[in-house]
Chains A and B, each alone.
Chain A
Amino acid sequence: MEKRRRSTSSSSSSSSSKKHDGEGDVHSHHILHRPTSPLLCVIVFAALIRYLVSLHPYSGAADPPMYGDYEAQRHWMEITLNLPAKDWYRNTTSNDLTYWGLDYPPLTAYQSYVHAQFLKFFDPESVALVTSRGHESPLGKFLMRLTVLSSDLVIFFPAALWFVLAYYGGRSRVRREELLWHLSLVLLNPGLILIDHGHFQYNCISLGLTVAAVAAIFVEKDLVGSFLFCLALNHKQMSAYYAPAFFSHLLGKCFKHQNPILKVTKLGLVVLGTFLLIWWPYVYPLKGAMEVLRRLAPFERGIYEDYVANFWCATSILIKWKRLYSMQLLKLLSFSMTLLSILPSIIQQIRSPSRQGFLFAMLNSSLSFYLFSFQVHEKSILLPLLPASLLALDEPLMFQWFMNYALFSMFPLLRRDQLLIPYVALYMLFALLYYCPFRKQDSSGNGSVNGWKASAMTLFLLCSLLLHLIYLTFKPPEKYPFLFEAMIMLLCFSQFVFLAIYSNMKQWKLPSRFGWIDKKKVL
């Protein structure tokens, strides 16, 4: 972006003014003073893009009787506003759990409650008990969109900023423009924007809390970090995809500590305390907590849904998992496969915890969950996408590669939501940001590949482009109505598997000595 260019020239002009330092000390504070306006430009632009996406339809717009995620979130606001906390997760006369019953942890419920207050102030009809079911109005949409935007601005934006500052805090020689570039890649993550501000969800909260937790751990505030991560876990249970990484990294750090047992105890107490605080209304009697827990793990929905690009769905073309095996066996199978695939990255982090390794571990564990765990949704690709975006400056090519297929894997979903225009626009935006002409790229070639790898990647990208077009223009044959979805799924699955192998290898190849990576990064 142009802002980045300015930041370089600003630093360069300040350094050149250093040359003329003899002329007086008017220049001297230029060196200390760094303009914040390029940074603000990125932030305002990211907010603007989010708002523009939110003008487009949401999931299940004008599609009775169940509508979509928008209605689910609105319904939760209605429930939390009008019923006592004890009844939120319970089937009662006014809370029909079969109609979008609350199935996220209590922090989501509290968030819904706060947002419901906001909606009630301007448009009480949209959150009235029972009568507001399927409520759709331009005003309601505007207000709901504002709740997501404000959550994003309040949680994800500061978290991303903190992360960038924390991650590069130790590396004084990473250029400021690179820092801005990374920040804009994290903030303008098309997948996240499309799902939150287009499709309608609040991933920005749980992912933002996760990013903040990572940042806290990077500045050696492990207790704050684990507190924040517990909040993330309690906002969306899907955040558990990162849990192995957090666990192993913190454990590894504890072992390096002079008094490991004390440190582990402290962390454990923080985790316990946070959970207790959030689950307070359900702790006594314990039956309440069990009710909530049962809502959080909807095993009855089957091992996969729709055409998600994971192992179970991809192999179901050959092996009909759902028909051949019992739910119990599948649960066990998926659990053990997930655990098995995460094991290497856990071990690596326990043995030699490092910043970059931690991010790789987050990527690997969430990707493993996505590929092998029970009941995965297309949107869950956002979870592995986040650590990949946090690694964007270390592994730009991997991030770009991942983003292409992550977006593509959500394409059928977004197309159903009538979000084709934002999809195309944000895809373009990502490509633009990635190939920013204002960014002076290092010739060290972190982002370039050649030979057969490059041609293979181009080939796959061409396949993806072709499939996009086919999906948009052709009708599938009568016999296989989901043929194109299956093809998209298979292509994305293959790429995700490559990616998982690649990033696991990368993590293991990381130098094992603590702190050495940061020095290497200086280049």
Chain B
Amino acid sequence: MEPQIKEEEQEEERPNPQKLLWMFTLATIMKLLLIPSYHSTDFEVHRHWLALTSSLPLHQWYSDSTSQWTLDYPPFFAYFERLLALFAPFIDPQIAHLHNGLNYAAPTALLFQRLTVIASDLCLLYACFRLRTRPGVGLDSWRADLIWVLLVFSPGLLIVDHVHFQYNGFLIGWLLVSVSAVEEGRDLVGGFVFAVLLCFKHLFAVAAPVYFVYLLRHYCWRRSGGGVVEGFGRLLKMGFVVGVVFGVAFGPFLYYGQVLAIINELFEPFWGLCHAYWAPNFWVFYIILDKVLAVLLTKLGFTIPASSASFTGGLVGESSSFAVLPKITPLVTFLLVLCAMSPCLIKIWREPRPRLITRWVAYAYTCGFLFGWHVHEKASLHFVIPLAIVATESLADARHYFLLSIVSCYSLFPLLFEAKEYPIKVLLLLLYSLLMWSGFTQQLRKLQTSTSSAKKGDKGRSRKGTGGTKVEGGGTLIGWVGMSYLLGLLVVEIWGQFLQPYLLGDRWIIKCP
């Protein structure tokens, strides 16, 4: 193996976009093969929006009720659907027909809509491509490769977008572009792209406080130099840019007096504290605590108003009241999210460092996920995907990302409930875990060799050296706590999927349509 020492030195080259393209095509192949797999009602939702935006005039988009799936995304997404609908007639005119197209899921429709998702993922590709010039860390070829692998083969995105059916890759692509622009110090561009993203999907607004504070401190009111006047000028500039974006988005609707309808639509689906499938967040514990308390107090002789509450009913609807604990209102959740975010906001206020913006944004989404009102389980993608970018920066980040991405993907498993998709989700997660494992252990070895050759103090080096060795055996990338947690997931999965039906039912029932 001696000849390869030279090669390794050569390998410290700049990131090769060809490799990104190669990986992305590989992922595209998987996406193409996923075309006939299961799709959720979101498929019909998006199909209807194609029909809605292409057959009705703009001022009826948000007030039409031909289908129960009314348009509840902000205007840019509606424009986006309008754009996609332009191509639909080439494949099958019925796809974008307002009435005949209802619940239309012929192979042509499936093909067309899946292809739109695959094509819109090019936005993610662009975001990945931009990362090659990440200041400070983006210059290593192997690091860029690893980040690309983590982003391109993300099982969560594949499951939610290409099986379940949504456009998260596209939207998160915008988010990553915005974040990377801010990271490069191009605040105006970052702010602009984030505003665009908000006009695509308003749920991304959870990170708005972070952006607001950061841009205020880093762009408008800089610590070094720049007077109040200059700061105010910059504020106006940023305000103008964001205003233009929102103007383009909402302007036409304002003209037709539709803005109230839009706002009504955008926030209408948010009934209830929890979504049909519970997102694994704080409120799950709250509900469980309520149930436990109710049972306990009843046993102790108190009369508890019998709540017909069934949170596991799987219905999107008005939240049932709690038996014991106080009722949660959207305002409470909003304040909780802000509270959870505040340490981060204070830190940004004190020291707005571009290098940390990705972490901050991810943190903001985590807070929104944990304490937010009516959180979708898919929202975990909003913070897991950006974290992939910083996962290569240190051992702690790698460790964190490894565990988090596996758990987040596992939490998406219930989305695909048919037997046919079972091997897909398991194999996707397995593949990703293996990719991460081999990538991160590789990275640690790289870091270890570079630190030992840099000769920075004997103690630190030897500690790192042992750490790296442990990685090989399975010690350091994931500690015993994390490992037992993952094994616990495995046990839960085996129990839920195989043992329980076998032990409690008389025969395994395989769910097929």
- Which A residues are closer than 8 A to B by beta carbons? 1-3, 5-6, 8-17, 19-20, 23-24, 26-27, 29-31, 33, 35, 37-38, 40-41, 44-45, 47-49, 51-53, 55-57, 122-123, 137-139, 142-143, 149, 421-422, 424-426, 428-429, 432, 436-438, 440
Per DSSP, chain A at the interface is helix
Closest to A143 in B: B510
Q: Is the CB of B33 within 8 A of A437?
A: no
Q: Mark B96-107, 1 if CB is under 8 A from A, else 0.
A: 000000000000
Q: Is B405 among interface residues, defined by CB-CB distance under 8 A?
A: no
- Could you tell me if B142 and A9 are in contact, using CB atoms closer than 8 angstroms? yes
Provide a sorted-by-A list of 16 A–B residue pairs whose CB atoms are within 8 angstroms.
Answer: A8-B7, A9-B8, A12-B1, A12-B11, A15-B4, A23-B461, A31-B1, A44-B431, A49-B29, A51-B423, A52-B30, A122-B510, A421-B36, A426-B29, A428-B25, A432-B26
Known: A11-B1, A142-B512. A2 touches B34 (CB 8 A): no
Q: Are B32 and A35 in contact (CB under 8 A)?
A: no
Q: Does B265 contact A (CB under 8 A)?
A: no
Chain A nearest CB from B112 CB (Å) reads 13
Given A422-B33, A424-B32: A139 and B435 interface contact (C-beta under 8 Å): no
Tier of interface size on chain B: 35 or more
Q: Assess A2 versus B435: contact at CB under 8 Å? Given A55-B33, A142-B512, A428-B25.
A: yes
> With a CB–CB cut-off of 8 A, which chain A residues contact B428?
48
Residues on B with beta carbons closer than 8 Å to the beta carbon of A44: 427, 430-431, 434
B67 lies within 8 A of chain A by Cβ:
no
- Which single residue of chain A is at the shortest CB-CB distance from B22? A437
Question: Min CB distance, B367 to chain A, in Å?
Answer: 33
**In whole angstroms, how far apart are the Cα atoms of A429 and B469 in the complex?**
35
A55 vs B418: C-alpha distance when bound (angstroms): 13
Using Cβ atoms and an 8 Å threshold, which residues of chain B touch A20?
Answer: 449, 452-453
- For the A-B complex, the count of residue pairs with Cβ-Cβ distances under 8 Å equals 161
Across the two chains, which residue of chain A brings its CB closest to B424?
Answer: A51
| Residues from chain A with Cβ under 8 Å of B30 in the complex | 48-49, 52
Q: Report the nearest B residue to A139, measured CB to CB.
A: B512
Contact between chains at A15 and B1 (CB < 8 Å): yes
In whole angstroms, what is the CA distance A44 to B5 when docked?
30
* Residue B183 interfacial (CB < 8 Å): no
Nearest CB in chain B to that of A44: its residue: B431
The chain A residue sitting closest to B513, CB to CB, is A138
B34 touches A52 (CB 8 A): yes
Q: How far is the CB of A10 from chain B (nearest CB, A)?
A: 6
CB-CB under 8 A from A428, the residues of chain B are 25, 28-29
Q: Is there an interface contact between B8 and A23, defined as CB atoms closer than 8 Å?
A: no
Inter-chain CA distance A351–B438, complex, in Å, is 46
A138 to B418, CA, bound (A): 11
Which of the candidate stretches B123-131, B347-355, B439-447 sits at the interface with the other chain?
B439-447
Contact A142 B510 (CB under 8 A): yes
- 10 extra interchain contacts, Cβ-Cβ under 8 A, other than A122-B510, A422-B33? A2-B149, A5-B142, A8-B7, A11-B4, A26-B468, A30-B445, A33-B472, A45-B431, A143-B510, A438-B22
* Contact assessment for B25 and A432 in the assembled complex, using a CB-CB cutoff below 8 Å: yes
Q: In the bound complex, how far is the Cα of B33 from the Cα of A139, in angstroms?
A: 20
Interface check B419, CB cutoff 8 A = yes
Nearest Cβ on chain A to B28's Cβ, whole angstroms: 8
A425 close to B449 (CB less than 8 A): no
Q: Are A10 and B442 in contact (CB under 8 A)?
A: yes
Task: Report how far A440 CA is from B419 CA in the complex, Å.
Answer: 41
4 cross-chain pairs, A with B, having the tightest CB-CB distances, nearest first: A37-B438, A52-B33, A12-B8, A138-B512
Residues of B in contact with A (beta carbons under 8 Å apart): 1-2, 4-5, 7-8, 11, 16, 18-19, 22-23, 25-26, 28-30, 32-37, 111, 142, 145, 149, 419-420, 423-424, 427-428, 430-431, 434-435, 437-439, 441-442, 445-446, 448-449, 452-453, 461-462, 465-466, 468-469, 472, 508, 510, 512-513
Whole-angstrom distance between the Cβ of B124 and the nearest chain A Cβ: 17
Q: Which of B424, B431, B441 has the most CB of A within 10 A?
A: B431
Chain B residue numbers with a CB within 8 Å of A55 are: 33-34, 36-37, 420
Query: Is there contact, CB below 8 Å, between A421 and B32?
Result: yes
Closest A residue by C-beta to B430 = A44
A425 to B114, CA, bound (A): 14
Closest A residue to B30 by beta carbon equals A52
**Would you call B437 and A37 a contact (CB within 8 A)?**
yes
Distance of A57 Cα from B11 Cα, bound (Å)? 44
Contact A14 B1 (CB under 8 A): yes
Q: Which residues of B sit under 8 angstroms from A123, Cβ to Cβ? A: 510
Q: Which of A2, A44, A48, A123 counts the most B-chain CB atoms under 10 A from its CB? A: A2
Name B444's closest neighbour in chain A (CB-CB): A13
Q: Which residues of A contact B22 (CB under 8 A)?
A: 432, 436-438
* A432 to B36 alpha-carbon distance, docked (Å): 23
Nearest Cβ distance between residue A256 and chain B, in whole angstroms?
Answer: 34
Interface core residue of A24, A45, A52, A143 (most chain B CB under 10 Å): A52
The answer to whether A13 touches B33, judged by C-beta atoms less than 8 angstroms apart, is: no
Which A residues are in CB contact (< 8 Å) with B29?
Answer: 49, 425-426, 428-429, 432
Least Cβ distance of A403 to chain B in Å? Answer: 16
* A432 CA to B419 CA, complexed, in Å: 31
**B438 partner, pick from A17, A35, A48, A138, beta carbons under 8 A:** A35
Asked if B420 and A138 sit within 8 Å, CB to CB, the answer is: yes
Chain A residues closer than 8 Å to B441, beta-carbon distance: 35, 37
